[in-house]
Chain A
Amino acid sequence: MAEIKLRRSLLYVPGNMPSMLQNIPIFHCDGVIIDLEDAVPLSEKDAARVLVRRFLENHTDRNKEVLVRINPLDSKWGYDDLREVLPAMPDGIRLPKADTPEIVERLDTLLTEFEEELEVPIGHFRILPSIESAQGVINCIKTARTSDRVFALAFGAEDYTASLEIERTKTGEELFHARTRVVWAAKAAGIQAIDSIFSDVNDMEGLQRETALIKTLGFTGKSLVNPRQIDVVHEIFAPKQEEVDYALQVVEAIKRAREMGTGVISLGGKMVDAPVVKRAVRVLKTAGAHGMIDIELDEEVIYGQE
C-alpha cells in the first residue's frame, strides 16, 4: 500500500528564538516551518539565519519534516537565507508570496544550483509555495504544476485578506472561494493542500470549527502558530473508528465482488462501486498513517486486474 505522508500540522517556529527552536524535537506535529520571514524583525534577519543553520546542524536526529520559510526572493534577504540554511539540510522551503509560477520556477532553479554545489541529489529540497494574494490564488493552478519539488500548496489567509483589503473573520466566508480554488489546484496536480493559520491560540473551539471546515473542503493539513493547536488538529483529521470500520467492510465487499467477476456489489443496501471503493481505500491509508490499523491493501484485488 502506497503510504500517505501526513502533513496535518505544520507548526511555525520563529527563527530568532533559541528557546523555541530547541523544542522542535519534542512536539508531535507532522512538520515545522522555521520562520525567517514575518516572525523575524529586520534587525535580526542575519542573526536568525545563522541561528537556524546552527540549530539544524545540531538537530541530526530528525523526527519530523523541517521546512524553512525564507524571505521573499525579491527581497534583499531571500537569497542569503537559502545560502545560509541549505547546507544544514532542511527538507524544503516554504516560499512566501508565490504569486506567479515564475517565482516558483526561479526558486526551483536556485535549489538545483545549490544541490549541485552541495552534492546532494537533484530534487532533494522540496517547495511549499504560499498562495497568499489575489494574484496568487488566480495563478495557483499553474503554480501547483511548476516543479516536481512542489509537494503541496499552502494557503495564507492573513496576507490574502490584506491583499483584498478586507478583514479576516473567524467564520471565513470571505475565504471560501480562494480556499476551494487552492484545493482544486492542488488535487488536480496530485499534491496536498495546507490551510492557513488560526491565530487566536486561546480559541480552541474556533480552531476546531475551522479545521473541520477545511477538512471538508479537501485540505489535508493546516499551518499552526502554537504547539497547543497540534492535538486539536490531529483529532479532527484522524478518521473516525466507524469510518474505518465501514471502509474495511467496503474493501471486503469489493473483494467478494471481484471473485464473483463484477465491479459493483451491495453493502447494507447501498451500492458499492469504484468511487466508494476509492474513498474507502483513502480512509484506510489515512488510518494506516495514523497508526490506527496495520493492514496490507492489495490494490489489484481492490481495483481489479486490467
Chain B
Amino acid sequence: MVRNSLGRLIPESFNGKNVIPFSDPFSLQPKGFRASRPLTRLNPGQKKLLPGLREAIQAAGLKDGMTISTHHHLRNGDALLAQVVREIDALGLRDIRIASSSIHPAHAEIIPFIEKGVISALECGVNGLIGELVSRGELSCPITVRTHGGRARALISGEIPVDVAFIAAPCCDDYGNMNGYYGPSACGSLGYAQVDAQHARTVVAVTDNLVPYPASPVSIPQTMIDYVVRIDTLGDPKKIVSTTTRITTDPVGLQIAKYAAQVIEAAGVLCDGFSFQTGSGGISLAVADNVRTLMRSAGIKGSFGCGGITGYFVDMLEEGLFETLFDVQCFDLKAVDSIGRNRHHLEISADMYANPFNAGAVVNRLDAVILGATEVDVDFNVNVNTESNGYLLHNTGGHSDTAAGARLAIIVAPSIRGRLPIVRDAVTTVTTPGETVDVIVTERGIAVNPRHQGLRGELLRRGLPVKDIRQLQEEIYHITGRPRPLEFEDEVVALIEYRDGSIIDVVRKVKK
C-alpha cells in the first residue's frame, strides 16, 4: 500500500496491473503514441452483414481473457450488453473483461454471468446493483471506475486494449455507416462510441434499424466498421433517454440554484462568449434557468453549451443565447431531435470532450460548470461514486474532467440529504480533487475554495451568504449530529481512476 497525495491508501497493484498513485491534477505527462488498429482490407463484393451476434463474436475472434466494450448512449434502456454477454456465454467463452463507457442499473442482468466467470472484470464505472454487491463482497469482480475523458484516454493510449467493440447503432446501413439520430432507438450523439470505433481491434455495428446504403448523416463511418449485425431491438426506447428532465420545484433546490447563478454572475464570467455546462438534474436545470434569465436581461451572447445536452440547452441555442452546442451525449428526446436537424448542435467524441492527453479538450474552454456531489469535505474534495453507506453506486461521468477544465467549477448540493450532512471531514471516496473545485453551494451557505479570495470578497460584497467550509459544516452538524464513521475491510474492490490514469482513491469492502 502507498499513500497518494490526498492521503488515500492505494494498493501497488490491482487486478494484475501496477497502479500509479494520484499526485496532482495537471502534472502527469503522457508518453508514447496513440494506439491503433490492425490494417484491414475489404474487397468489392465482400459483405459485412452477419446473421447474428453469435456469428459476429466468432468472426471477431473473441477469445477467453479478451476485452469487449459497448456504449451507454441508450442509458438504462440498453439491451445490447446483456445480449452480447449471453451469446459469449453460449459460446463457452470465459474471463471476458468489459470496458464499456458505463454500466447502468438495467445491466444487473449480467450478474449471473459474473458469478459464472464469463465476465471477470469491469474496466469501467457502474451505476446500481453491481457496484453495491461488489462493495458488500457478495460479487467478485474488480472494477476500475474511469471518467469520460479518462476512458477515452485509456482506449487511445492503449492502456485498455478493446478487442471487440459492439456499437449500438440506431440508424445504420449494411456497410456500417451510422448515426444515432433516427430510428426506434434514437439516442442522438454517439460521442462515447467514436473512441471505440477508432481504437478497438474489431468493431461490430449492431442495429435494429438497417437502412438502405448510405445511412446519412454519417457519425461513425464505414471505414471503421468490420461487421454489421441486425437484431430485433437495441433496447427500451422509453428508458433510452429520459423525458423527465425538469427544473426542480423543491424550494431548497431553487434556493441553491439561485445562489449558484449569482456566483457565476459575481465571478465575472457571464459576458459575451460565455461557455457553460450543467447536468440534467433538477437543480442543475434550475441554475441554467437562472443563468438564462441573466443572459437575456443583460443581452449576453454565449459561445457554447457543452456536455450531456438537454432540451433546456437546445432552447438556449435556438434562442440565440449560445452559438453552438458540443454534444457528447443526449439526455432527452428534444436534444435527440435537435442534433438531427441543427448544424450548430455538434456531435463530439469523448476524446474531444474531455481527454486530458490530447492537444486540448473542450472542457478546457469551459467558463463554468455546475456539478453535483453525494458528499464534499472541508478540503473541497468531492465524492460522486459512493454514498453514505459506502457502496459504489454511481459512475464518475465527466465530473473530474469538467472540474479540472472549467474556470469555475461549482458544486451544488443540499446541505442535508435524508438526515445526513453533506459536508464531511473527509469524503468517503474522492472522485474529484478539491484543487479543481472552486465553490460549493448549499442552501445554508456558499463555501469558496481558499484559492479564490477575490471571488470570496466579491460574493460577500454582493451580500451572499459566504461561509468558511468548516463553519458551514458545523451549522449542518448542529442539525444532523455527527455521523458515526463507516467501517471498511482492507480488501479493495474498486479503483477510482483520475482522468490522467493515476489512482485518486479506492473503494473497499464494507464491513458487515
Contacts and interface: CB of A to CB of B under 8 A. Distances in A.
User: Do they bind each other?
Assistant: yes
Contacts of B478: 58
Contacts of A291: 463
Nearest to A228: B251
A180 interface: no
A226 interface: yes
Nearest to A60: B478
A26 B444 contact: yes
B472 to A, nearest CB: 12
A227 B479 contact: no
A25 interface: yes
Interface string B255-298: 10000000000000000000000000000000000000000000
Q: Which has the most chain B C-beta neighbours within 10 Å: A22, A26, A226, A228?
A: A26
A169 interface: no
Interface string A10-32: 00000000000011011100000
Contacts of B330: none
Given A23-B443, A25-B444, A226 B251 contact: yes
A144 to B, nearest CB: 33
Interface string B458-482: 0000010000000000000011000
Contacts of B443: 23, 26
Contact of A227 (B251, B416, B463): B251
A25 B251 CA distance: 13
A27 B463 CA distance: 14
A12 to B, nearest CB: 13
B249 A228 contact: yes
Interface of B is mostly: helix
Interface in A132-151: none
B300 interface: no
A291 B463 CA distance: 10
B49 interface: no
Contacts of A228: 249, 251, 254
Contact of A27 (B249, B251, B416, B479): B251
A25 to B, nearest CB: 7
Contact of B255 (A22, A27, A58, A226): A27
A139 B270 CA distance: 55
Contacts of B251: 23, 27, 226-228
Nearest to A22: B479
A27 B252 CA distance: 8
Interface in B476-494: 478-479
A287 to B, nearest CB: 16
A25 B252 CA distance: 11
Interface in A22-48: 22-23, 25-27
Q: Which has the most chain A C-beta neighbours within 10 Å: B252, B443, B479?
A: B252
Contacts of A22: 416, 479
Contacts of A25: 444
A263 B203 CA distance: 90
Interface string B239-260: 0000000000101101100000
Interface string B382-411: 000000000000000000000000000000
Contacts of A27: 251, 255
A227 B256 CA distance: 13
A203 to B, nearest CB: 13
Nearest to B480: A22
A22 B417 CA distance: 13
B393 to A, nearest CB: 23
Q: Which has the most chain B C-beta neighbours within 10 Å: A23, A58, A227?
A: A23
A74 B133 CA distance: 59
A197 to B, nearest CB: 15
Nearest to B463: A291
Nearest to A201: B249
B422 to A, nearest CB: 14
Contacts of B249: 228
Contacts of B255: 26-27, 227
A214 B416 CA distance: 37
Interface string B190-222: 000000000000000000000000000000000
A23 B476 CA distance: 11
Interface in A237-276: none
Nearest to B254: A228
Given A227-B251, A228-B251, 12 more contacts: A22-B416, A22-B479, A23-B443, A25-B444, A26-B252, A26-B255, A27-B251, A27-B255, A226-B251, A227-B254, A227-B255, A228-B254
Interface of A: 22-23, 25-27, 58, 226-228, 291
21 contacts: A22-B416, A22-B479, A23-B251, A23-B252, A23-B443, A25-B444, A26-B252, A26-B255, A26-B443, A26-B444, A27-B251, A27-B255, A58-B478, A226-B251, A227-B251, A227-B254, A227-B255, A228-B249, A228-B251, A228-B254, A291-B463
